[in-house]
Structure 1
């Protein structure tokens, strides 16, 4: 037997008759049609929007505030401590390209961010996407300058 669109029909028992509500007590869903007596959920139309929890902060708004949820668009940086800059030549300009050339940074996937761990005694012009407050203070204390690019 070949199956055609005309020959398709639901399996026996798959489709049930529609409940005829409000048609008297003998019909099983008479009068209030299974909605109870009074209240918000017995009124016509949709009682509440999807996700409504009676005024409590709903789940879809609570979830992002909980721990262990990753940021959607996190800021990614190639980080470098001030102590690693101490090997650079005095008076030179330090940026991501020069650090890769010198072998200090090996995988420059993201913009450079300078962190303040360690000491610096060399005067440098440092060009980076971001600096921590302590890194900026240590570079400027050594006589250097910080340029945000």
Structure 2
């Protein structure tokens, strides 16, 4: 099955499930980019979680999430950060991971009225340089930055991949 169809199928399945809401903080730096000033208001971030490897030291924590652009304007994701990781990079489970994959979330277009799913069986993010103190908490903050300077921070539950 092609990745595009996998993403659509996963999105449809997730929308059928009753999921707990994610509390988000929105930030706008006031920088003016036509059509991009309030991207954080148009983007919904759901189903977010940071999964720890089953065996400590065997693998890296992985960040999964769903992004929904509810507007009629395409927005651009320019970065994702978390105090739990020195760096978050793009990764694909079943494909060769190139520099383009690693930097995917630094220039990701979020098409208008579209949902993109980043789950374990496809594109998602790896936590490089995990901070053990932050990972010992039940949740960690993750901040998504958008073209134009706005951002949205959400709380991601930390879970074991065995769950």
Report the TM-score range of the alignment, normalised by the length of the smaller protein.
under 0.3
More strand by share: 2
Q: What TM-score do the two structures reach when normalised by structure 2?
A: 0.19
Q: What TM-score do the two structures reach when normalised by structure 1?
A: 0.20
Q: Kindly indicate whether structure 1 or structure 2 has the higher relative contact order, using CA contacts under 8 Å at least 6 residues apart.
A: 2
More helix by share: 1
